[in-house]
């Protein structure tokens, strides 16, 4: 009888550890602030595919990419412009930086033009990063720790079909190391990668969009935040456990909003189960010592 109780309690402890390892229900993103952006970041635009927001991991700056502006604008984390870099391409949709280069996607020429480019931060012309050529409206990208993240190519002048993440190294961008299906995606307006947290965040390509978090290893949907944002002409990026959301308005009124990401906290029931399990382990150990 004692042996059976010990086994039961030991099993309970194992269940407790498993319960703690499971993801807790999503906690709301914590809204921190909204900043009005300069008119350069509301540049009038000839079409309505997404704008892009990226993060330069080397300089701790945000990067804004608008279609038809032919310019990457740099800002601090409150959206105040600190500089710019002309790129010479007209249909740019997404942007990222790694301290050495800027990276952007472009669909000039549709199926007759290359899609992803790198350009030096201070000098030089843009050069093709990948040999990929696809039509329509380009795709979202991010660059983190030597890796290039991008969705599949869009199949029309919009991102409603996007539901995949492709991963390659910057050193060999045409060698796709992994392709993830982001289960639960309803189109992707932009992506933001948190490698340390094992997550990729997306904003829906919808007029009333949610922000979603997916597992960077499996593509499983982990959280959905129903914020009702405009995902059609917007961008998001990740920095320092915060999400930055760019709401682009044609002509004036663009804003930058900041959301803090809460730390995952196990459910109360899991704490109770853990306590019971640890007590069971202790009891089982005492039984073995006195047997």
Q: Over 60: is that where the pLDDT of 269 sits?
A: no
Between 228 and 271, the more confident residue is: 228
**Every domain of the chain and the residues it spans:** 1-24+267-291, 26-264
Q: Cβ distance 108 to 89 under 8 Å?
A: yes
On whether the CB atoms of residues 69 and 57 are closer than 8 A, the answer is no
pLDDT in tens, 100-132: 999 999 998 888 889 999 999 999 999 999 999
DSSP letter for each residue of 87-149:
---SSEEEEEE-SSEEEEEE-TTGGGSB-EEEEESSSS--EES---B--TT---EEEETTEEE
Q: Produce one character per residue of 202-234: b if its CB has 16 or more CB atoms within 10 Å, e if not.
A: bbbbbeebbbbbbbbeebeebbebebebbbbbb
Task: Count how many residues are written for the chain.
Answer: 291
Confirm if 144 and 238 have CB atoms less than 8 A apart: no
User: Above 50 in pLDDT, residue 283?
Assistant: no
Cα 178 to Cα 243: distance, rounded to the nearest angstrom: 24
| Structure token pair of residue 149 | 């993240």
Question: C-alpha distances in angstroms, 75 versus 16, 35, 64, 82, 203?
Answer: 46, 12, 8, 5, 21
Q: Spell out the alpha helix ranges (H) of 148-231.
A: none
pLDDT value for 33:
98
Residue 123: phi, psi to the nearest 5? -155, 170
For position 37, what pLDDT does the model report? Answer: 98
> According to the CATH classification, is domain 26-264 in 2.120.10.30?
yes
Kindly report the backbone phi and psi dihedral angles of residue 236, in degrees, each rounded to the nearest multiple of 5, phi listed first. -135, 155
- Is the pTM higher than 0.85? The answer reads no
Kindly report the average pLDDT of the chain as a whole number: 85
């Amino acid at each position: 009888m004692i042996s059976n109780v010990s086994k039961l309690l030991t099993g309970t402890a194992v269940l407790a550890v498993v319960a703690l390892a499971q993801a807790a229900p999503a906690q709301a993103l914590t809204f921190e602030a909204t900043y009005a952006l300069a008119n350069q970041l509301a540049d009038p635009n000839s079409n309505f595919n997404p704008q892009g927001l990226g993060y330069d991991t080397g300089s701790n700056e945000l990067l804004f990419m608008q279609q038809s502006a032919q310019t990457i604008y740099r800002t601090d984390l409150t959206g105040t412009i600190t500089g710019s870099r002309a790129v010479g391409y007209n249909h740019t949709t997404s942007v990222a930086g790694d301290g050495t280069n800027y990276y952007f996607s472009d669909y000039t020429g549709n199926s007759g033009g290359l899609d992803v480019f790198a350009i030096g931060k201070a000098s030089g012309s843009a050069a093709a990063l990948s040999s990929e050529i696809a039509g329509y409206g380009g795709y979202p990208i991010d660059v983190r720790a030597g890796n290039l993240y991008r969705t599949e190519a869009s199949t029309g002048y919009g991102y409603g079909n996007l539901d995949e993440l492709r991963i390659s190294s910057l050193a060999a961008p045409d060698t796709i190391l992994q392709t993830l299906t982001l289960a639960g995606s309803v189109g992707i307006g932009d992506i933001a990668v948190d490698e340390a947290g094992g997550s990729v965040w997306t904003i829906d390509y919808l007029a009333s969009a949610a922000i979603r978090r997916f597992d960077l290893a499996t593509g499983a949907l982990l959280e959905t935040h129903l914020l009702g944002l405009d995902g059609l002409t917007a961008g998001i990026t990740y920095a320092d456990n915060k999400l930055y959301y760019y709401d682009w308005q044609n002509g004036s009124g663009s804003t930058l909003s900041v959301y803090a990401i809460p730390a995952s906290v196990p459910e109360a029931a899991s704490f109770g189960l853990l306590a019971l399990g640890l007590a069971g382990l202790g009891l089982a150990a005492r039984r073995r010592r006195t047997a």
